[in-house]
Amino acid sequence: MLLRALINIDDLPWRLTIVGPVEGDLNNRYRRLLRDPRVSLAGTVSLRDLARYYLSADVFVFPSRAEGSARVVFQALASGCYVITTPNAGSIVEDGVHGSLVPPGDYHALEAAIRQAVADRGSLAEIGNRNAAIIRSRYRQRDYGEALVQLYEALPRPPQAPQRVSD
């Protein structure tokens, strides 16, 4: 979906770094775009290098069709990125607050969100800084553990099975 959206954006400056493997049919289907000088393929990288990629990006695009809760989105938010994703990424991203939400599979909406981000470069840093502050203050591992304990404590206890009396 991302590559299909970028094919239509020839009138604006953009640069894409793909981190992770690009395999199989994607290589053939998007050969022309993948050879575009604005696209770089990083392949599989270490966690340290991944952090460097996040920190060097203004915008993180993750047009997921289905995720449980994508850690990469939280990592991008923590790194100060403006995030473009779908509601299916299982993240906290709110449209217009942390970046943009687009419908899964809708490359026209993804193209529009990328165009908006490129056109409004002045607010990218402001939103990115706010995203990093939100993650630092409200989404720490300790907070997650405490919230999980509170959730389990609030659940109703299942009824106890009657005790059997043995003869």
What pLDDT score does 97 carry? 95
CATH number for the domain spanning 84: value is 3.40.50.2000
Which pLDDT score is estimated for 167? 62
What 3-state DSSP class applies to 128? helix
Quick one: 86 exposed, middle or buried, by C-beta within 10 A (0-12, 13-18, 19+)? buried
The pLDDT score that the predictor gives to residue 117 is: 94
For the chain, 167 residues long, give each residue's pLDDT as a single digit of tens. 888 898 889 898 889 999 998 888 888 888 888 889 999 999 999 999 999 999 999 999 999 888 877 789 999 999 999 999 999 998 889 999 999 999 999 999 999 999 999 888 889 999 999 999 999 988 777 777 787 788 888 888 777 767 777 66
Return the closest-CA partner of residue 35 out of 44, 20, 22, 52: 22
Count of structural domains within the chain: 1
User: What b/e readout covers 108-135, taking b as 16+ CB neighbours within 10 angstroms?
Assistant: ebbbebbbebbeeeeebeebbebbbeeb
User: What's the pLDDT score for residue 126?
Assistant: 95
Residue 125 lies in a domain: yes
Within a domain: 7: yes
Structural domain boundaries enclosing 127: 2-154
Structure pTM? 0.81
